[in-house]
Chain A
Amino acid sequence: MDTNTNDTPKAPEQESTSDGFSRRDFLRSSAAGAGVAAAVAGATSEAFAADAPSLDIPSIVIPQEIPDNLAEDPKIGTFDDRGMTGAEVFAKVCVDEDLAAMFCCPGNYTVINAVASAGIPSYGGRTEGAMCAAADGFSRATGEAVATSGTEGPGFTHMIMNIASANAARTPLLVLASNMRLAGDDREAFIQTGYQQPTTTGMKKYGKRLIAPNRVHEYAGYAFRQMKSGIPGPAHLDFPSEVARAVFEDSSELTDYYDKSQYRTESRAHPSPKEVEQAVEMITKAERPILIAGQGVFQRKAWEPLMKAAEKHDLAVVGSGPTRGHFPDDHRLSVSLSPDALMSADLVIFVGQYCMPSPGEFRFNPDVKTIRINPEQEDLGRNWPLDLGIVSDEKIFLEALADGLPSKKRDLWVDEIAAARKKFEAKHLADYDLGVKYSKETNTVHPAVMCKEVHDFFYQGDIDPNQTISGSGGWTSGLYSGRWLRAFRPAQSIVPAYQYAAIGPDMAMMIGATAAVERGVGPQAPYKGAPGLCITSDAGIAYSMFELDTAAKYKIPLITLVYNNNSWGMWPNAVRSARSMHMYLFQENLRYDKLAEGLGARGEYVRTQEELRAALKRSYDAAANESMSTLINVQALKEFTSQRDYPPGVSLNPQPGVGAFSH
């Protein structure tokens, strides 16, 4: 039990109001303002009353009902007894398809209960939008299909931003929602009527309102076939109650009730030997080739043949996509920290780059030649003209490439990459030095200082640098942290803002990602149980804040830094516009750490580099030893964003490489 109250540096007393009552006084006297962390299940704690001993306020506790309920044996529906409901039929398909997890809010009750009962790891949270982001985060950390669910109408529409984010990231996300009764269609019967499928147009790979109860198994197959074949993406099924609650006495009542091996295939596109020869010839002739290891390399778990091909031929590699680490940042052939070398490439090989940039968006020179490998023919040539396009599964192509490439050393090219990395690191260390100066002058924390401290703590201290999964967002905080967070192994980092650039799903997404680590799923298995790390902004945290309750409830150990600059990061857009700035500003010195405490997590408040360093240590210990989440409120100034006030301010990170989030 960590009350945190004594360890947390004291915040400065705020200005008193005219009646002599400060905001801090108010918080101190309120229940939410007292230092607190969730007690173990079933236990009580006096911590909540630590700051206000005269109040008889019960502690935050995890009710024993939760662990007891989670410990119950799974129950998968069968036809043996009373038959199976449509929801149970669907849940059985989820089990057969190894659905990795479900994140939801109550609603769509029949379906989520059936899925949870069947043994799919399930998490119930506070808002549908954030739980959708958590599902996406779990999938980005594992590559597995994950479900999210909400109630019809309001719950479903609350998910929209994060369904769109998942679609942009090509996440195999199963979006489930109840949707009233077929009998009430078009009548606005009772409440929550809505046409869901048109709402997700443009943000899903596949969708269907289930209108024939006896086809529920068939359409479950449609959904999984779409998510697990070719390029993944969200599949959206909405369930009228006639489907979810239908009862089937035996399998003859269900259409296409057969095994997944019959409704989809694991067969993958192979490149022809001639195409592989062409690619090998072009790569061999090139002097400075770079392979872009896109999302498909991660999805297909192709990091081993990628490494083999790269090392055999001194082929430079840079990872891209919503998940990072399928080629390690610290490898001598990695260009992820060497943006200046990108412009030197004379050949680029895109492998599994689903979200294609246009020339000029990636930092390659105008003469660079291009090979692209993609599992679907119709996307080859989109946006970026090709010298060679190959339809192939990423893993199969990389295996063929590793076999076909001759051994080769490219010492000059490797030296150039190393020099570019040195230049990149020197630039950001110079920014850090400036940040230290600014921090001392203002008694707040500059974003470069925040990120360097995080970097040193997680990658250069006592912790295994390969261990901690991370993700970041926000404008100023996201741009800076992208340069300092590292991925040394597959899925060590995810990019919450990838392509769709939603503000705010960061922490919820990292709760999902950390849940995957907690369970040791897929590439997270070697680090099972390790804490996760999130850096977000004060603007962004508003979208995810209440899921700290979810993290505490399920003991998902996440350390979140909130870069608190009292504003939306885009405030410079209002500088020259009359009567506009107020829309960009918050109250100053808001205490997100106190909100965290009120939700059963730990809170830390820091205004200096030294305080941050100490808070990271305490937070990590609480996460590693007690599975306790912490929110560290890092007080900053909005002016750090401005190039005019505190140069260098913000700048866009080069693509591809660390900090890139567009493609």
Chain B
Amino acid sequence: MAAPQVHWGAALFSGLEFFNMTATTKTSPDAIDAVTGALESYAQRGVFRGFSKTGVKNGKATFRMLWHRERFFDLILDARRATIRIPVVLPEVPAQSAMYREFKKYVLGRQVETLPDHRRIDPAKVSVKYRNSRGEIALTFSVLDGDFEYGARKLIHLVHEIYLDFLQDGPYYDYMVEHLGLDPDAV
């Protein structure tokens, strides 16, 4: 697979360093409203089978979604730090595995300039960070221009594509059976 063309902004945040972007133009309530509205719209559209906002405190809001493979996903908005994070996008992926290497390539590939605008994560608007902690892959978007709705939507899009594109098109059928509850009797 050819190396993706990565925008400088993406390279800067390519999983190694985390920038605390505090230069947001939105207040915490605005950010929380924007993210809540985006996520609620997905719940209304049936993207999530279940959805709740589980807590708001000190500029932080936590959301819980019943989503792909009937799994619960937490999404944490930290308005003060201008980050939106999903702590467990995929479980049980060893940090040294080929799967994790491909995952990182895939995520970075979502920012390349050759993608059409409607598919691309704009590095001028958000930076993307991934982290693997004991096999659990987290994704964090730092919102660079205060557009939290964009950040939330693009994060949801990215996770959606990871489940429907990255996992299904790649050699991860066994992984989905063993770790995501894919029932071989029910595919």
Chain B residue at minimum C-beta to C-beta distance from A572 = B174
- The interface residues of chain A lying within 8 Å CB-to-CB of B18 are none
Q: In the assembled complex, which residues on chain A have CB atoms less than 8 Å from the CB atom of B165?
A: 340, 343, 363, 654
Contact present for B171 and A643 (CB under 8 Å): yes
Chain A 338-353 interface 0/1 with B at a Cβ cutoff of 8 Å (1 = within): 0110011010000000
- Size of the B side of the interface (Cβ < 8 Å), in residues, is 29
Is the beta-carbon distance between B169 and A654 smaller than 8 angstroms? Answer: yes
Q: If A359-B47, A360-B67, A360-B164 touch, does A344 touch B119 (CB 8 Å cutoff)?
A: yes
CB-nearest residue of chain A relative to B187?
A652
CB of A286 to closest CB in B, whole Å:
11
**C-alpha gap A343/B157 in the complex (Å):** 9
Interface size classification for chain A: 20 to 34
Of A358, A366, A650, which is within 8 A of B156 by CB?
A366
Residue of A nearest to B47 (CB): A366
Task: Flag the segment in B24-32, B38-46, B82-90, B125-133 that touches A.
Answer: B38-46
Q: How far is the CB of B14 from chain A (nearest CB, A)?
A: 23
Which B40-87 residues have C-beta < 8 A from chain A?
A: 42, 44-47, 49, 67-68
Q: Does A121 contact B (CB under 8 A)?
A: no
A367 in contact with B153 (CB, 8 Å): yes
Say whether A74 faces chain B, with CB atoms less than 8 Å apart. no
Query: What residues of chain A lie closer than 8 Å to B174, measured between beta carbons?
Result: 572, 642-644, 649
- Whether B92 sits at the interface, judged by CB under 8 Å, is no
B45 contacts across to A, CB distance below 8 A: 359, 366-367, 385
Enumerate chain A residues within 8 angstroms of B118, measured Cβ to Cβ. Answer: 287-288, 344, 346
Known A365-B157, A385-B44; contact A360-B68, beta-carbon cutoff 8 A: yes
0/1 per residue, A625-663, Cβ < 8 Å to B?
000000000000000001110011111101000000000
- A651 and B172 alpha carbons, distance in the complex (Å): 7
A360:B173 contact, CB within 8 angstroms: no
Interface check B161, CB cutoff 8 A: yes
> Which residues of A are found within 8 Å of B119, using beta-carbon distances?
343-344
How many angstroms between the C-alpha atoms of A383 and B45 in the bound complex?
10
A641 to chain B, nearest CB (A): 9
Q: How far is the CA of A344 from the CA of B46 in the complex (A)?
A: 18
| CB pair A648 B184 closer than 8 Å | no
**Residue of chain B at shortest CB distance from A575:** B174
Contact B173 A650 (CB under 8 A): yes
Residue of B nearest to A419 (CB): B116
Among the listed A288, A339, A366, which residue makes an inter-chain contact with B157, where contact means beta carbons less than 8 Å apart? A366
Cβ contacts under 8 Å, A384 to chain B: 46
- Tell yes or no: B20 within 8 A of A by CB: no
Q: Bound complex: CA of A6 vs CA of B157, how far in Å?
A: 59
A359 to B174, CA, bound (A): 23
The listed residue (A343, A358, A648, A650) touching B164 by CB distance below 8 A is A343
A495 to B184, CA, bound (A): 19
How many Å lie between the Cα of A358 and that of B70 in the bound state?
A: 12
Partner of B169, one of A365, A427, A501, A650: A427
Does B160 belong to the interface (CB within 8 Å)? yes
**Chain B residues in 8 Å Cβ range of A650:** 173
The 8 Å CB contact of B168, one of A359, A573, A654, is A654
B35 to chain A, nearest CB (A): 14
Beta-carbon contact of A651 and B168 below 8 Å: yes
A343–B161 contact, CB under 8 A?
A: yes
Known: A343-B161, A572-B174, A643-B174. A358 touches B46 (CB 8 A): yes
Instruction: Tell me the residues in window 156-187 of chain B with beta carbons closer than 8 Å to chain A beta carbons.
Output: 156-157, 160-161, 163-165, 168-174, 177, 184, 187
Contacts of B42 in A (CB 8 A): 366
Residues of B within 8 A of A572 (CB): 174
CA distance A507 to B37 in the complex (A): 51
A55 within 8 A of B: no
Note all chain A residues with C-beta closer than 8 A to B44. Answer: 385
- The answer to whether A385 and B46 touch across the interface, beta carbons within 8 angstroms, is yes
Q: Which residues of B contact A288 (CB under 8 A)?
A: 118
Tell whether, in the assembled complex, residue B46 and residue A359 are in contact, meaning their CB atoms are under 8 Å apart.
yes
Residue pairs across A and B with Cβ atoms less than 8 A apart, 16 shown, are A343-B161, A358-B49, A359-B45, A360-B160, A360-B163, A365-B157, A365-B161, A366-B45, A416-B116, A572-B174, A573-B184, A643-B171, A643-B173, A643-B174, A649-B171, A654-B165
Beyond A365-B160, A383-B46, A652-B173, 16 additional pairs, beta carbon < 8 A:
A343-B161, A344-B118, A360-B47, A366-B153, A367-B45, A501-B187, A570-B184, A573-B177, A573-B184, A648-B170, A650-B173, A651-B172, A652-B187, A654-B164, A654-B165, A654-B169
User: Which B residues have a C-beta under 8 Å from some C-beta of A?
Assistant: 42, 44-47, 49, 67-68, 116, 118-119, 153, 156-157, 160-161, 163-165, 168-174, 177, 184, 187
User: Which chain A residues have a beta carbon within 8 Å of chain B's beta carbons?
Assistant: 287-288, 339-340, 343-344, 346, 358-360, 363, 365-367, 383-385, 412, 416, 427, 501, 570, 572-573, 642-644, 647-652, 654
Q: For the complex of A and B, list the 8 residue pairs with the smallest distance between their C-beta atoms, beginning with the closest.
A: A643-B171, A648-B171, A385-B46, A366-B47, A359-B46, A363-B164, A647-B171, A359-B47
